[in-house]
Amino acid sequence: MYPRGGAGRNGGVESLKGQLLIAGADLLDPNFRRAVVLVTEHGDDGALGLVLNRPTETTVGEAVPGLTALVDGGSHVYVGGPVDQQSVLVLAEFDDPDEAAATIFGDIGFVRGDADAGTGADSVRRARVFAGYAGWSAGQLDAEVEADGWIVAPATREDVFCDESRDLWREVLRRKGGPYKFLATMPPDPSLN
């Protein structure tokens, strides 16, 4: 239940796997404006990630009832990104990270593809369902970070499972501190200020 991609270093640039990408003020693409993305893969072939702060009105019970053994049926499905929005990905916190199909950081990873039948639900503490993912071709993410399109910050479990995910962009910038704390106060449309 996760997209496959390259791993390791990308042309000598340190891998951002397990880090957060916080959309910079100049990133106006509607798919990523004020987005917080967890990088799930970053290597020579490109990068993949999940947008953490785009909940939909659709519940897990409505969209993928087979996953209710892992995720409360009333939980919202999140838009993980603009790529392949028909795909379903489940990110979870595991008792034993070896149970994950792929570990992102610490005990956070993707649920195995057979989990929709309830397999492995005992080892999952909490999980979130995403439709689609974000993807970058080789070198693309590195160039966007270099151009200040993204601000990089360490990820925490609470970022992944934040109850108030619509406020996550501001919260992560505040936590980063310094000039980013000021950026967090910027209104969604500065022209209305």
**Both structure tokens of 173:** 């910038």
Mean pLDDT by 10 residues, the chain (193 residues): 38 81 90 96 96 97 93 96 95 93 96 63 91 96 93 96 91 94 78 54
Confirm whether 130 is domain-assigned: yes
Residue 177: the pLDDT is: 92
Confirm whether 113 is domain-assigned: yes
For every residue of 77-119, DSSP letters joined together read EEE--SEEEEEEEEEEEESSGGGSSEEEETTEEEPPGGGGGTT
For residue 141, the domain's CATH number is 3.40.1740.10
Confirm whether 11 is domain-assigned: no
Confirm whether 10 is domain-assigned: no
Phi, psi of 189 (to 5 degrees): -125, 95
Confirm whether 4 is domain-assigned: no
Question: The domain containing residue 90 runs over which residues?
Answer: 19-184
How far, in Å, CA of 121 to CA of 117, rounded? 9
Residue 37: the pLDDT is: 98
Confirm whether 193 is domain-assigned: no
Residue 33: the pLDDT is: 93
How far, in Å, CA of 161 to CA of 159, rounded? 6
Confirm whether 93 is domain-assigned: yes
Residue 6: the pLDDT is: 37
Confirm whether 63 is domain-assigned: yes
**How many structural domains comprise the chain?**
1
Residue 52: the pLDDT is: 98
**pTM, full prediction:** 0.88
Residue 171: the pLDDT is: 95
Q: Could you tell me where the beta strands, DSSP code E, fall in the chain?
A: 19-23, 36-43, 46-51, 55-59, 76-79, 83-94, 102-105, 108-110, 124-137, 150-154
